[in-house]
């Protein structure tokens, strides 16, 4: 069964773009179906349209309900495209909202996130700054399944970046981003081609 890909963004959408381009160029067996943003101004929305993918906005600013109530609005949009917990892969690509436990449970092992550090180091906000301030010699990025914690789910792909003496948060973020694009494509491909399975906290590679 061909999985349907939904990508959730909040801004620039460079990871989304890398995934959508790779799916096309590398013939990855997955169907890019919809890009959803919680912000109407997200630059990634235009990029997705240009690449021929449907876009939707589920605005979060000013929303008065609970986290789960907001997430149900996302589920409603997904179902409009016939995306269910059985046929989906949902990629968070700079989606700056925490999902409710209910949503995560419903889409267990179907949601991926990219984080700009080698997890479990430096979870949460400003990961690149955290890395520089801590004095580590290397950082990088991690693609992982989303569980109920913040940046804690089973790890699929990690890429390492060396930190230079004169790195700023900006220069390091830029070099990590190049690796993010590669790592995210690698993870989506592994799942689309059904080459991994989750066993407890670990991702096992099938031969």
| Contact set with ligand GAR (CB under 6 A) | 9, 11-15, 93-94, 114-116, 127, 177, 180
Which residue lies nearer to ligand GAR by CB, 161 or 203?
161
Q: Taking the chain, what is the end-to-end CA distance rounded to the nearest angstrom? A: 19
Q: Cβ 58 to ligand GAR, closest distance in Å?
A: 17
Q: Active-site residue among 76, 115, 144, 181? A: 115
Taking the complex as a whole, the smallest distance from the CB of residue 197 to ligand GAR amounts, in Å, to 25
CB 3 within 8 Å of CB 35: no
Quote the CA–CA distance of 107 and 5 in Å, as a whole number.
13
Q: CA–CA separation, 171 vs 132, rounded Å?
A: 11
User: Looking at residue 64, what DSSP letter applies?
Assistant: -
Min dist CB 159 to ligand GAR, Å, is 11
Whether 3 and 23 have beta carbons less than 8 Å apart is answered as no
Nearer to ligand GAR by Cβ, of 127 and 187: the residue is: 127
> Which tokens belong to 87?
């046929």
CB of 70 to ligand GAR, least distance (A): 18
Do the Cβ atoms of 145 and 112 come closer than 8 Å?
yes
CB of 13 or CB of 32, closer to ligand GAR? 13
Active site residue 76: no
Of 86 and 98, which has the nearer Cβ to ligand GAR? 98
Which helix or strand (DSSP H or E) is residue 142 part of? strand 138-145
With beta carbons less than 8 A apart as the criterion, state whether 190 and 207 touch: no
Residue closest to ligand GAR, measured at CB: 94
In whole angstroms, what is the distance from residue 100 CA to residue 18 CA?
Answer: 27
Which residues are identified as catalytic? 115
């Amino acid at each position: 069964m061909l999985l349907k890909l939904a990508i959730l963004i909040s801004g620039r959408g460079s990871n989304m773009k890398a995934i959508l381009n790779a799916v096309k160029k590398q013939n990855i067996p997955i169907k890019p179906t919809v890009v959803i943003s919680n912000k109407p101004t997200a630059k990634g929305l235009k990029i997705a349209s240009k690449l021929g993918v449907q876009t939707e906005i589920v605005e979060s600013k000013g929303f008065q309900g609970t986290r789960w109530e907001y997430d149900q609005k996302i589920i409603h949009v997904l179902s409009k495209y016939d995306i269910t917990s059985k046929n989906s892969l949902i990629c968070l690509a700079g989606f700056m909202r925490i999902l409710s436990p209910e949503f995560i449970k419903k889409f267990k092992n179907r949601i991926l996130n990219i984080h700009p550090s080698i997890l479990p180091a430096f979870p949460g906000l400003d990961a690149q700054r955290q890395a520089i301030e801590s004095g580590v010699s290397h950082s990088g990025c991690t693609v992982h399944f989303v569980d109920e914690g913040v940046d804690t789910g089973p790890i699929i792909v990690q890429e390492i970046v060396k930190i230079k003496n004169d790195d700023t948060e900006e220069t390091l973020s830029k070099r990590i981003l190049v690796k993010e694009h590669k790592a995210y494509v690698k993870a989506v491909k592994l799942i689309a081609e059904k080459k991994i399975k989750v066993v407890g906290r670990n991702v096992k590679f099938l031969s």
